[in-house]
Structure 1
Amino acid sequence: MNQYQKFNQNYINGNWVDGTENKTVEMQNPYNNEVLAQVSIASLDQINEAFDGAKNAQTNWGKDAALRQEVMENAVDYFKENKEDILEILTLESGSTAVKANLEFDLTIGLMEEASTMVNKVGKFEEKSSIIPGKMNENYRLPKGVISSISPFNFPLYLSMRTIAPALALGNAVVHKADIQCGLVSGSLIAKAFEEGGVPPGVFQSLLTTPDVTGDIMFNHRAISRVSFTGSTPVGRRIGQVAGEQLKDVSLELGGNAPFCVLSDADIDKAVDAAIFGKYLHQGQICMMTNRFIVHEDVYDEFVDKFVARSKDVKYGDPRDSDVVVGPLINEKQIEKSLDNIQKAKKAGYDILLEGEQIGNILTPTVIGNVDNNSELAQTEMFSPIALISKASSNDDLIAKANHTEYGLSSSIFSRDEEKAREYALNLTFGMTHINDQPVNDEPTAMFGGMNQSGIGRFGSPYIIEEFTEGKWISVQKQAREFPF
């Protein structure tokens, strides 16, 4: 048994406790439906207890930079020392293949190490002279307070830590609710790492509970200073509405509809290499995944032929097999949605270039060609190994089609002409565009975030510092000031 299967409890005010909601949830392996752990979920009273405890603990934590530095470094060491068990629980609980689990682990370590450099970014950072004689202006960044963190199932560890690590480093307390489907790896594991690292009680709280219990409390509890959420756009809209009523700040990373743009002069072999990774990593269950391939008509047939051929060779199966690329979708509901999308494509008369097969909770790669970019299908986030390919009559038409979506998270563009590609990239209404690469990219020091309906705010250092701290101006009148009355 993996050690983290034993940590099937909430971590509240420094104690591991069962939930008191009188309801249990089974955490299952999405590949074979094996029960990994059973959790008694947290009640509304316990959620209130967690927020109140975080509020009480935050002040001293925010003032102790030396302790924050020590805890952050210890937590990184804990992750490195327990790497193999962490990789295994990522596979068992989220269906991560070996490539994806290792990528997620490495991203998490890089993020935590970068967060450790932020510890001393709190406090006075700038002095400026004043227009008033004898006055000095001081600008400070102070901890925001209590951060409410809500994370998804797809990159559960990394997308949790992307909020938690910088928030803690900058002196905030965090109340974290993982997606219950991956609550061990993105809740309990993180709590254990910080507990072992020496975090004071109350500074980090891990709640294993469900939306029907939480309601809006993770968005509007009186203790919350900022809500950080990664998930669907409809839920993001609800958070914005609820938090906005109380003028609470939000960081929202929401849905995507990433275009993979293949211009007429693209190197098709290199584009296909990138396309395979950017479509099938983690079974396509990534907000940045390629949702639409938009290909210039001059190279459409070549791209399609080579992409389909490569897709046929993608290995699928048990994610514990190190050669497997496509493992299980997270649950049966996601399988049903994916099969329904394939039926919609057939009904619309699109080209079924490679039809996927359901094998348990696995959907094998599916490629659909000549998709109408304006269709409901093309405007739907697949979140599965279904590749949609559309044709463009010109490069300008291609960019226009790419921009035809309510979303604006990530995008990519392939061309041999770097300057032309950069010009087009600046015209893509997405928060991130990658030239001659696929759209699934994230780095600790990159500006990460979306436009339009894909979110609000930016992750990455140093951009996250402004999100998770509060600006304060102190002026010091060093000489007596003369007043007009």
Structure 2
Amino acid sequence: MSERNTPELAPDAEWGLYVGGEWTSPSDAGTLEVVDPATQEAFTEVPSVGTEVVDEAYETAAQAQTEWAKVPPQERADIVAQSISLIHDHHDELVDLIVREVGGTHLKAETELHIAEGIMNVAASFPFRDGGSHEKSIIPGKENIVERDPVGVVGVITPWNFPFNLSMRAVAPAIALGNSVVLKPAPDTPITGGLALAAIFEEAGLPPGVLNVVAGDDEEIGDHFSGHPVPEVMSFTGSTEIGKRVAKRAAEQLTEPALELGGNNVHIVTDDADVEYAADAAAFGSFVHSGQVCISINRHLVHEDVYDEYVEVMTERAESLPTGDPKEEETIVGPVINESQRDKIVSFIEETVDAGATLETGGDHDGLVVEPTILSDVTNEMAAACNEHFGPVAPVIPFSSDEEAIEIANDTRMGLSGSVHSDDLGRARRIADEIETGMIHINDQPINDEPHIPFGGVKESGMGRYNADAILRKFTRTKWTSVMHEQREYPF
């Protein structure tokens, strides 16, 4: 391996992998082309490693964690705080990277950085909040001490849709709490999902080996990474199908999984809702980042009395959105990540129309830019409704009663997020309480993420929660120490 200096945070920089505090390009490594979805052309490449480098990264992380856990809490907090400052300093470069690598619009890139900074601000408080407690004992003269220690090494696998903040929500808390990390970003987004984070934390002064980033083909290293014996926690964000496989591999090593998986989120609009406002919320919740958000609206459930009006307003909203290259600041709907994703979205649209739905607008594509699409006369069994379409598609399903809306909403194996619109807040709350989901938002839309609020789903949408005290508990473990302060009498 040849050592290199830290790369600049620029799309055309010469990137390598990051293990043990060194930027290296293994001579025997393949490469991953990093493609701009807007042009479908590669603008750089990164090394694609094999299983041997994954082993090295985990071993390095385990060695570094022992000393990192001894670092005083103020120093760990300062590293995270300095990293936040560096994100501010490199703001424009990071926005450019997200736009180029992810195909995100400027609005999306700004939002992603804002969410990441919020996560880091909360994480910076963790070194002072991971203390234990003294508990009373049932035995006279005994003192009980419950301490929280870092788990050790955390493995992190992250997706391509919001790579920077979805990596940061695991990396920053894990590091702040005294753990080390091996991060495997998605092959489509190795820079903003991993290598950019490594560059920022290195510049902030993080000791070598505490954060390690390996990029590689999922087929080659995915199972080896998730089934490795070193990590104590395996954090995964992605599809339910792959999440189950990751969880199984981790469990075989008694590694605890932390999973945030797919969604099939509803946007319920009652007959007394403000239709214009509900459609405004729905346009954002369906079309931001071309619908490539796990908590975006997948199904619009609308009362039959306002159904036609809602479809008409949503069609107007969809047709008014600027589409195209996200490097143009006015673009709202840019490209999806790759051809495979585009073809899946278009297939869901075509299957839904073939099943009897009406295509109100959209349905076509230009390169990887799928038109904002409105489908009416949809039922819950149609392809665009029963599958997580992950695209700029709004299937609109009618209902006649609150009970029917609840039944349709819950008729899915997913349960991540959702929203309910009604002028009667009591009614909205009653509906929301019956929806089987980890998160739901009244008179809003499902795309919400606040760093101090637990984030996660139920059913097949995940295991555990991110953010706030939930992630603090996930990345630490309790140790009970008892002290007898006087001699104890035993029964024999």
TM range (shorter): over 0.9
Deviations 1:209-262 (A, max 9, x none): 111221422222121100000001011111121222222111000011000011
State which of 246, 254, 270 in structure 2 corresponds to 1:239.
Answer: 246
Equivalence for 2:436: 429
Equivalence for 1:134: 141
Is 1:91 equivalent to 2:99 in the alignment?
A: yes
* Residues 1:469 and 1:391: Cα distance change in structure 2 (over 3 Å): same
Equivalent residues of 1:4, 1:189 under 8 A apart: no
Task: Report deviation, 1:32.
Answer: 0.5
Equivalence for 1:100: 108
Equivalence for 1:78: 86
Range that drifts further, 83-92 or 4-13: 4-13
Task: Report deviation, 1:153.
Answer: 0.3
For 1:31-430, list aligned pairs within 5 A. Answer: 31-64=38-71, 65-123=73-131, 125-430=132-437
Deviations 1:162-186 (A, max 9, x none): 1101111111100000012111111
Q: Take 2:27 and 2:220, find their aligned partners in 1: how far apart are those partners?
A: 11
Range that drifts further, 288-297 or 365-374: 365-374
Q: Take 2:60 and 2:253, find their aligned partners in 1: how far apart are those partners?
A: 21
Amino acid corresponding to residue 41 of structure 2 in structure 1 = E
Equivalent residues of 1:28, 1:37 under 8 A apart: yes
Task: Report deviation, 1:20.
Answer: 5.0
Task: Report deviation, 1:2.
Answer: 6.0
Q: Secondary structure at the match of 1:270?
A: helix
TM-score by length of 1: 0.98
Amino acid corresponding to residue 89 of structure 2 in structure 1 = E
Deviations 1:36-62 (A, max 9, x none): 211221121111000000011111111
Equivalent residues of 1:255, 1:381 under 8 A apart: yes
Q: Secondary structure at the match of 1:475?
A: strand
Task: Report deviation, 1:188.
Answer: 1.0
Task: Report deviation, 1:386.
Answer: 1.2
Task: Report deviation, 1:21.
Answer: 4.8
* Residues 1:110 and 1:101: Cα distance change in structure 2 (over 3 Å): same
State which of 17, 20, 29 in structure 2 corresponds to 1:10.
Answer: 17
Equivalent residues of 1:21, 1:41 under 8 A apart: no
Task: Report deviation, 1:351.
Answer: 0.8
Q: Take 2:79 and 2:29, find their aligned partners in 1: how far apart are those partners?
A: 34
Q: Take 1:97 and 1:227, find their aligned partners in 2: how far apart are those partners?
A: 30
Amino acid corresponding to residue 62 of structure 1 in structure 2 = A
Equivalent residues of 1:7, 1:184 under 8 A apart: no
Q: Take 2:29 and 2:201, find their aligned partners in 1: how far apart are those partners?
A: 28
Q: Take 1:364 and 1:215, find their aligned partners in 2: how far apart are those partners?
A: 33
Q: Take 2:262 and 2:35, find their aligned partners in 1: how far apart are those partners?
A: 25
Deviations 1:375-427 (A, max 9, x none): 34311111111111101011110111011100000110001111221121111
Q: Take 2:385 and 2:363, find their aligned partners in 1: how far apart are those partners?
A: 18
Q: Take 2:74 and 2:224, find their aligned partners in 1: how far apart are those partners?
A: 32
Equivalent residues of 1:289, 1:440 under 8 A apart: yes
Task: Report deviation, 1:484.
Answer: 1.2
Q: Secondary structure at the match of 1:224?
A: coil
Q: Take 1:84 and 1:244, find their aligned partners in 2: how far apart are those partners?
A: 41
Equivalence for 2:5: none
Q: Take 1:412 and 1:257, find their aligned partners in 2: how far apart are those partners?
A: 12
Q: Take 2:486 and 2:29, find their aligned partners in 1: how far apart are those partners?
A: 65
* Residues 1:210 and 1:21: Cα distance change in structure 2 (over 3 Å): farther
Unpaired segments ≥5 residues, structure 1 = none
Equivalent residues of 1:4, 1:188 under 8 A apart: no
Unpaired segments ≥5 residues, structure 2 = 1-7
Task: Report deviation, 1:471.
Answer: 1.1
Equivalence for 2:3: none
Equivalent residues of 2:187, 2:218 under 8 A apart: no
Q: Take 1:127 and 1:291, find their aligned partners in 2: how far apart are those partners?
A: 47
TM-score by length of 2: 0.96
Equivalent residues of 1:5, 1:184 under 8 A apart: no
Q: Hey, which bits of structure 1, 4+ residues long, moved more than 6 A?
A: none
Task: Report deviation, 1:22.
Answer: 3.5
Q: Take 1:344 and 1:407, find their aligned partners in 2: how far apart are those partners?
A: 21
Amino acid corresponding to residue 472 of structure 2 in structure 1 = I
Q: Secondary structure at the match of 2:436?
A: coil
Range that drifts further, 81-90 or 377-386: 377-386
Amino acid corresponding to residue 48 of structure 2 in structure 1 = I
Equivalence for 1:461: 468
Aligned length: 484
Equivalent residues of 1:257, 1:292 under 8 A apart: yes
Equivalence for 2:480: 473
Q: Secondary structure at the match of 1:141?
A: strand
Q: Take 1:350 and 1:70, find their aligned partners in 2: how far apart are those partners?
A: 55
The percent identity for this pair of structures is 38
Q: Secondary structure at the match of 1:189?
A: helix
Amino acid corresponding to residue 308 of structure 1 in structure 2 = T
Q: Take 1:457 and 1:20, find their aligned partners in 2: how far apart are those partners?
A: 40
Q: Secondary structure at the match of 1:338?
A: helix
Q: Take 2:46 and 2:265, find their aligned partners in 1: how far apart are those partners?
A: 36
Range that drifts further, 33-42 or 259-268: 33-42
Deviations 1:329-370 (A, max 9, x none): 101111111221121122112111113321111111111111
Q: Take 1:348 and 1:453, find their aligned partners in 2: how far apart are those partners?
A: 26
Range that drifts further, 236-245 or 42-51: 236-245
